[in-house]
Chains A and B, each alone.
Chain A
Amino acid sequence: MAMLNKNFLSLNDMSRTLYDKLWDEHHVSKLDSGESLIYIDRHYLHEVTSPQAFEGLEQKNIKPWRLDANIATPDHNVPTVRGSSFSTDQINDEISKIQVVELDKNCNKFGIKQFDITSNNQGIVHVIGPELGYTIPGMTIVCGDSHTSTHGAFGCLAMGIGTSEVEHVLATQTLKISKLKNMNVVFSGKPMPGVTSKDIILYLIKKIGTAGGNGHAIEFSGDYIESISMESRMTICNMAIEAGAKVGLIAPDKTTIDYVKSHSFLDQDVMDFAINYWESLKSDANACFDKEISIDVSQIKPQVTWGTSPEMAIDFDGSIPAMSKSKNFLLAGSYMGVEEDQKLTDLQFDKVFIGSCTNSRIEDLREAAKVVLGKKVDATIKEAIVVPGSGAVKSEAESEGLDVIFKDAGFIWRDPGCSMCLGMNPDQLSPYERCASTSNRNFEGRQGNLGRTHLMSPAMAAYVAINGRVGNLL
């Protein structure tokens, strides 16, 4: 194997980026086709993108290569009003039910570990992976879901794949892929009060566009990144895909290792052995990136999207940009029911959604609860829901009394799932409803047919719930 790796590394590869190192570490072989076989350490599965992959295995009469690489949970379709004794049979939407039943059947048949709908650990796959200790620094991680980039916050090479690749990983424990280019995004400075990692990543997407990271793995670095929690780092890596990059990465440091220690099922001696390696996972000082961008975060205001692409973000107190200069802007403005020069702060909202793999972790709920504490949801808001990302987040929030803060204010406190991020379950917008959402995509129809989504941080979404509009958090 050493020889194969040596052949693969060229002579000028002495200084490497974190992505280069993870790539080399998992490089099984270079194929005649020019692609590489990359070994996959962890594979997360959910009910939407896996059934056709399992069917493929059955047709070929193949068993999964390594069962314990796989962890499954249903998240996209699950209702979020379940209570304590809910079972799959009780899903009202018959078509959704089939998909969740199918995941149960496939996991049982093939012997894959699943946190099913009755488990206290069920939740959004990208929330439960890290918190249950299955996401470990230095791993390659894939899942049939583009927000798999989330796990890059742990110094993992993590990316979303299609269903054919889900089948390929189940069958061969590898992916057949070509190497991406390297991009470094350096965030420096101290953000203004009220500005969160969600605002920072929305600002980046606005700057480089939703295709800005196409073909690249983005490493996020700089003193701002070093200063923030794992939850905040996950929010940033989660939305790398909204900047076009299927891989987002952050080098592991003390913050990472402390998080892993407190969530891991590994024994202390194994962990001590592993930590030496984890600490080596960083880009070399003179590593060469194909693209580099530096952003001073101290100048960034809270960001809110006005259109139908995550790149259509503006300062919360800004005005909708001129439409005439772009057909994309015209189409977006018309869909969203906004006009040029209109102030974002003048828009009246109908619904508030706090949740999704971007912003449903404990820190997000704490930030939102701080804004809500002692106040009431505005009479103009038809519905404000909080959907914790996992069973563990939900119970931690309840032990801190956050659920009571939300419920007292008039929010609905739900059970874990993807929920209104994409409305595969009953949590949807009605046509023309305007939603303050902590999710990741404001695409047409994403939260419900003709629904209007404005992406923002949990604190700003909470502010909208209380005031009916976006505004100054301070």
Chain B
Amino acid sequence: MNENNQNLIQGIVASIDRDNIDTDQIIPTEYLKSIKKSGFGEYLFDGWRYHDRGKLGMSSDQRDINSSFILNHDQYRYSSVLLTKDNFGCGSSREHAVWALRDFGFKAVIASSFGDIFYNNCFKNRVLPIILDKEIINELFNLYSNEPLNITIFLDKKIVDTGKNQIPFQVDNNLLERIIYGLDDVDITLKNKEIIKVFEQQRKKDKPWIYINE
């Protein structure tokens, strides 16, 4: 097995009991000014994690920390799975939201549903979004919201293992492979270069106005 492969996600579960957590909450606009793909972990859930207003470049030891927020508790500081409710990641398309979760250390997010664009973005960054029924989500909240406990996710078997229960989940195999193997879509698609070129030549004939610019 390639050492870059990821068949197993294991770690502490942190839970946030809210619906509709939008990508502005996951990473506020202030930090979108970065032109890099990393360094966002410190600003994850910034408005909830800190009392003060931060700026790009500030580190958490310069900030007024909200000690009641879960990710500021010592036991949850190294969580690798986030448990939340409905429509997580709705709103803005910013991939920075996934970069922030990944940089913090989250490898999977379990929710009853996700915003469509966020869901797509996860698979580009090896963060696994797992959709489970609301009743199961509520059971997981009962289990995980009171103390820091481990969870194990078997990617190839599509099973979430709480230690007490094994819960199956659904995800497209092709998307799951992106997480397991960390594939780059650009490289894969460019193998179809000729098909795209043929399509484009035909389109130029059929719909020439698409190709006219001022």
Binding site for B on A (CB under 8 A): 1, 4, 28-29, 31, 33-35, 37, 39, 41-42, 48-49, 51-52, 55-56, 60, 62, 65-66, 68, 76-77, 93, 95-96, 98-99, 102, 113, 132-134, 136, 138-139, 144-146, 159-165, 167-168, 171-174, 176-178, 180, 210-211, 214-215, 241-242, 244-246, 265-266, 270-271, 273-274, 277, 309, 311, 327-328, 331, 422-424, 441, 443-446, 449
Q: When A77-B33, A164-B125, A214-B116 are in contact, do A441 and B22 touch as well, CB less than 8 Å?
A: yes
B61 close to chain A: CB less than 8 A: no
Instruction: Contact check, B95 vs A99: say whether CB atoms are below 8 A apart.
Output: no
- Say which residue of A29, A34, A55 sits within 8 Å of B174 (CB atoms): A34
Stretch with Cβ within 8 A of A (4 or more), from B76-84, B100-108, B148-156, B182-190:
B182-190
Known: A39-B199, A165-B120, A449-B47. A98 touches B186 (CB 8 A): no
Known: A52-B35, A176-B185, A273-B209. A424 touches B91 (CB 8 A): no
Task: Pick the residue among A4, A102, A177, A327 that contacts B18 (CB under 8 A).
Answer: A327
Closest chain A residue to B178, Cβ basis = A33
B-chain residues with CB within 8 Å of residue A1 when the two chains form the complex = 198-199, 202
Cross-chain contact of B93 among A144, A178, A242 (Cβ < 8 A): A144
Of listed B33, B57, B211, residue having the most chain A CB within 10 A: B33
The reply to whether B116 and A270 contact each other, CB–CB distance below 8 Å, is no
17 A-B pairs in the complex with CB atoms less than 8 angstroms apart: A29-B192, A33-B174, A41-B210, A49-B32, A52-B35, A55-B35, A55-B37, A60-B186, A77-B33, A132-B214, A159-B117, A210-B20, A210-B87, A214-B113, A244-B87, A328-B19, A441-B91
| A-B complex: 6 closest residue pairs judged by Cβ atoms | A33-B174, A162-B95, A164-B124, A51-B35, A162-B121, A160-B93
B212 at the interface (CB under 8 A from A): yes
Q: How far is the CB of A36 from chain B (nearest CB, A)?
A: 11
Q: Which residues of A contact B202 (CB under 8 A)?
A: 1
Tell whether B163 is near chain A: CB-to-CB under 8 Å: no
Partner pick for B113 among A161, A163, A211, A424, CB 8 A cutoff: A211
A244 lies within 8 A of B90 (CB): yes
Determine how close the nearest CB of chain B comes to the CB of A156; give it in whole angstroms: 11
B-side contacts of A162, CB under 8 Å: 93-95, 98, 117, 120-121, 124
Which of the residues B114, B174, B186, B203 comes within 8 Å of A35, measured between beta carbons?
B174
Alpha-carbon distance A19/B15, docked complex (angstroms): 37
Q: Which of A76, A265, A309 is close to B214, meaning CB atoms less than 8 Å apart?
A: A265
Q: Are A48 and B32 in contact (CB under 8 A)?
A: yes
* Cα-based distance from A93 to B29 in the complex (angstroms): 14
From B53, B87, B114, B213, contact of A449 by CB (8 A): B53
Give CA–CA (A134, B47) in the complex, Å.
Answer: 38
Q: Which of B56, B203, B209 contacts A39 (CB 8 A)?
A: B203
Q: Which of A28, A31, A60, A95 contacts B33 (CB 8 A)?
A: A95
Q: Which residues of B contact A136 (CB under 8 A)?
A: 209-210
Q: Which residues of B contact A113 (CB under 8 A)?
A: 213
B115 touches A244 (CB 8 A): yes
Sorting the interface of chain B by its residue count into under 10, 10 to 19, 20 to 34 or 35 or more gives 35 or more
Cβ of B164 < 8 Å from any Cβ of A?
A: no
Closest chain-B Cβ to A92's Cβ sits at a distance in Å of 13
Query: What is the distance, in angstroms, from A237's C-beta to the closest C-beta of chain B?
Result: 15
The answer for the CA separation of A168 and B37 in the assembled complex, in Å, is 16
Contact with A along B111-133 (1 / 0, CB 8 A): 00111110011001100000000
Nearest chain B CB to A363 CB, angstrom units: 25
Q: How far is the CA of A35 from the CA of B121 in the complex (A)?
A: 15
Provide the bound-state CA to CA distance between A273 and B91, in Å.
38
Given A52-B35, A164-B121, A171-B190, do A266 and B212 touch, yes or no (CB 8 Å)?
yes
**Which residues of B lie under 8 Å from residue A77 when comparing CB positions?**
33
Q: Give every chain A residue within 8 A of B200 (Cβ-Cβ).
A: 39, 66, 173
Q: Is B30 among interface residues, defined by CB-CB distance under 8 A?
A: yes
CB <8 Å contact, A102 and B35? yes
Q: Does B17 contact A (CB under 8 A)?
A: yes
Report chain B residues within 8 Å CB of A273: 208-209
Kindly state whether residue B157 has any CB partner on chain A within 8 Å: no
- Asked if A167 contacts B186 (CB within 8 A), the reply is yes
Given contacts A33-B174, A162-B121, contact A133 B214 (CB under 8 A): yes
B162-194 with Cβ < 8 A to chain A? 172-174, 177, 185-190, 192-193
Instruction: State whether B20 touches A211 (Cβ < 8 A).
Output: yes
Residues of chain B lying within 8 A (CB to CB) of residue A270? 208-209, 212
When chains A and B are docked, how far (Å) is the Cα of A241 from the Cα of B196?
29
Give the nearest-CB partner of B177 in chain A.
A33
Given contacts A28-B195, A159-B117, A244-B90, could you give 10 more A-B pairs where the C-beta distance is less than 8 Å?
A28-B192, A33-B173, A133-B214, A146-B117, A161-B117, A168-B186, A171-B189, A176-B189, A215-B116, A443-B91
Pair A164/B185 contact, Cβ less than 8 Å: yes
Chain B: CB-nearest residue to A278: B209
Give the residues in chain A near B115, CB-CB below 8 Å: 211, 214, 244
Per-residue A-contact encoding for B57-85, CB less than 8 Å = 1, 0 else: 10000000000000000000000000000
B64 vs chain A, min Cβ distance (A):
12
Which residues from chain B contact A180 at a C-beta distance below 8 Å? Answer: 116
Collect the chain A residues with CB atoms within 8 Å of residue B91's CB: 146, 241-242, 441, 443
Say which residue of A132, A168, A327, A443 sits within 8 Å of B24 (CB atoms).
A443
Q: Does the CB pair A52–B37 fall under 8 Å? A: yes
Do B116 and A172 touch (CB < 8 A)? no
Q: How far is the CB of B201 from chain A (nearest CB, A)?
A: 9
Q: A49-B95, A246-B116 are in contact. Are A139 and B37 (CB under 8 A)?
A: no
Residues B22 and A68 in contact, CB atoms below 8 Å apart = no
B24 touches A29 (CB 8 A): no
